[in-house]
Structure 1
Amino acid sequence: MSDDLTSRKCTPCQGGIPPLGKDEAEALLAQAPGWLLAGSGKRLERSFLFKNFREAFDFVVAVGELAETQGHHPDISFGWGWATVSWQTKKIKGLHENDFIMAAKTSALAESHHP
């Protein structure tokens, strides 16, 4: 894929399609540094560190707002100085290109919250 994942938008996933295979997921993972395949390759996950609770909270809010604009929603856990974000396309019980797009956008948000 020649274009940057952060410049792409999620496309609606109606289900009924197979999740990405291991090779496809690993190829896209190369474009999302810092993210890991988790849950037997069925989700993307990354933890982020912040200086305090407020920075972590602001990041989580920004990820939530991004998710709403893109129509694709993660699982997020956070606390004092940290946040963990997990992307998966629940309709297909696995990974879709949308998950990698959102992972790249999430990383960009993290950089803007603490360059």
Structure 2
Amino acid sequence: MNSIDLTTKQCTPCQGGIPPMTIEVANQYLALAPGWELRDDATKIKRTFKLKNFMDALALAQRVGHLCEQEGHHPDITIGWGYCSVVFQTHKINGLHENDFIMATKVNMLAGNGA
């Protein structure tokens, strides 16, 4: 699985009715999204980006928001002075789907991965 480049994939609409990823599969995908962690019994992934100040955090949140609008997959974003936290989950299945990891890798790329 490590050879998959999720940044080249597009989110696909999830209509529900499918099971969420198991924790084992989620952990395999997590290896492709450095800096992200499983949360809430592996139903969400989260990453907190450390930034220089509030305006940098706001700018990253805006870039993430624009990207997510284009992809049609929307996270919960929290910002404050020096940080921007992003949480993905696929609400229709109350868990994780490949789309969440596609977005995580794209957010990493957008943030410069080392933010």
Class of the TM-score when normalised by the shorter of the 2 chains: over 0.9
Q: Deviations over 1:62-93 (max 9, x none)?
A: 00000100000000100111011000000000
**What are the residue-to-residue correspondences of 1:1-115 with 2, within 5 Å?**
1=1, 2-111=3-112
Q: Counterparts of 1:45 and 1:64 in 2: how far apart (Å)? A: 15
Q: Secondary structure at the match of 2:92?
A: coil
Structure 1, 103-112 or 72-81: larger mean CA deviation: 103-112
Q: Deviations over 1:11-52 (max 9, x none)?
A: 110111000011111110010111000011000001001111
Alignment RMSD (CA, Å): 1.4
Q: CA deviation at 1:3?
A: 2.7
Query: Which structure 2 segments of 5+ residues have no match?
Result: none
Q: Counterparts of 2:40 and 2:28 in 1: how far apart (Å)? A: 18
Q: TM-score, normalised by structure 1?
A: 0.94
Q: Counterparts of 1:75 and 1:47 in 2: how far apart (Å)? A: 12
Percent identical: 53
Q: CA deviation at 1:110?
A: 1.1
Q: TM-score, normalised by structure 2?
A: 0.94
Q: Secondary structure at the match of 1:10?
A: coil
Q: CA deviation at 1:53?
A: 1.0
Following superposition, which runs of at least 4 residues in structure 1 exceed 6 angstroms of deviation? none
- Equivalenced residue count is 114
Letter of the structure 2 residue corresponding to residue 9 of structure 1: Q
Letter of the structure 1 residue corresponding to residue 9 of structure 2: R
